[in-house]
């Protein structure tokens, strides 16, 4: 059994994969904030999953963790996980020492890209290249070429949310103006469509479907931002498939249909874009599929030596 743990800002999710790649039931527990809190959350999750599986101590063949922030995959150290209150934590080595099993750590979006690739392979598809677009509070992507994660010279490959598309646009959290994240993200919707609704994006789409002119305008800007993200990833990495995940993927078919429509409109105006068949490459991940946890379980198979 391979254990995968996805540590998020509010909750931590875990699944186990057996030899046939079948998924166990998912476990969810609240995430404790701070370096020690994150460590205790990961430990408690692993122990509870071991109990549920009826496995002895050290019963998992491998353990992988997906977590926000800058991750040194060679050492298992996490840095700058701001939403978790973690500036620096040797998560892999410390958890491995407590559990007696090697633990490998990966950035959560990159782990989710591996999980999405696993889903495509299970459905009989095997694209040589793909991107997983994490559409949540922020915007980022994990890119795979021939099954290998693309990291870049400093590890920022896939940070497509901070590609400026409007120099005169609003200020982004990164300090630039008009980034894709200011159009295509949960924080963008919150800014453009202020709401007390527990699911502002759902309220926005419902209001647009009902004909609200302001909602129609905001939805169009949001969908155009997602479509621009797709276009950017294809023009830079020429990926065969793009899987949209993250919290806003819960919009499901309405998100996929809207992005396809806008990409189709752009293609009608550009023979070049039409030749790339952008809409065909895009899909929204099935609701409830734990991409980051599945990817973490796969990450755990790649063991690294303790220092």
CA–CA dist 12, 30 (Å, integer) = 6
Residue 41 in tokens: 């959350």
Question: Residue 147: what pLDDT?
Answer: 87
Residues 27-55 pLDDT 10s: 999 999 999 999 999 999 999 999 988 87
Question: Residue 304: what pLDDT?
Answer: 46
Indicate if the pLDDT at residue 307 is higher than 60. Answer: no
Q: How many CA atoms lie within 13 A of 163 on its CB side?
A: 21
pTM over 0.85: yes
Question: Residue 302: what pLDDT?
Answer: 67
Question: Residue 25: what pLDDT?
Answer: 84
Do residues 192 and 225 make contact, with C-beta atoms less than 8 angstroms apart? no
Residues 144-185 pLDDT 10s: 999 899 988 888 899 999 999 999 999 998 999 999 999 999
Residues 227-255 pLDDT 10s: 999 999 999 999 999 999 999 999 999 99
């Amino acid at each position: 059994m391979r254990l995968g743990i996805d540590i998020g800002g509010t909750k931590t999710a875990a699944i186990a994969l057996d030899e046939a790649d079948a998924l166990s039931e998912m476990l969810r527990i609240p995430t404790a904030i701070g370096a020690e809190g994150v460590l205790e959350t990961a430990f408690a999750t692993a122990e509870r999953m071991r109990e549920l599986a009826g496995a002895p101590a050290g019963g998992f063949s491998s353990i992988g963790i997906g977590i926000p922030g800058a991750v040194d995959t060679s050492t298992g150290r996490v840095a700058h996980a701001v939403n978790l209150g973690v500036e620096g934590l040797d998560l892999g080595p410390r958890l491995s020492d407590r559990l007696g099993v090697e633990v490998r750590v990966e950035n959560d979006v990159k782990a989710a890209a591996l999980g999405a690739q696993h889903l495509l392979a299970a459905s009989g598809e095997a694209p040589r290249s793909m991107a997983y677009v994490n559409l949540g509070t922020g915007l980022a992507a994990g890119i795979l070429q021939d099954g290998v994660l693309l990291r870049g010279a400093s590890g920022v490959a896939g940070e497509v949310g901070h590609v400026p598309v409007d120099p005169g646009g609003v200020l982004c959290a990164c300090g630039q103006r008009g980034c894709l994240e200011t159009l295509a993200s949960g924080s963008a919707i919150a800014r453009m469509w202020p709401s007390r609704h527990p699911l502002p994006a759902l309220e926005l789409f419902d209001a647009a479907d009902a004909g609200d002119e302001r909602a129609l305008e905001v939805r169009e800007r949001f969908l155009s931002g997602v479509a621009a993200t797709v276009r950017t990833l294809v023009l830079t990495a020429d990926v065969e498939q793009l899987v949209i995940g993250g919290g806003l993927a819960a919009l499901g078919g309405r998100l996929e249909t809207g992005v396809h429509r806008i990409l189709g409109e752009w293609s009608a105006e550009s023979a070049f874009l039409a030749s790339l068949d952008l809409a065909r490459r895009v899909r929204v991940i099935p609701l409830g599929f734990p991409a980051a946890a599945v990817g973490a379980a796969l990450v755990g198979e790649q063991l690294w030596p303790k220092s």
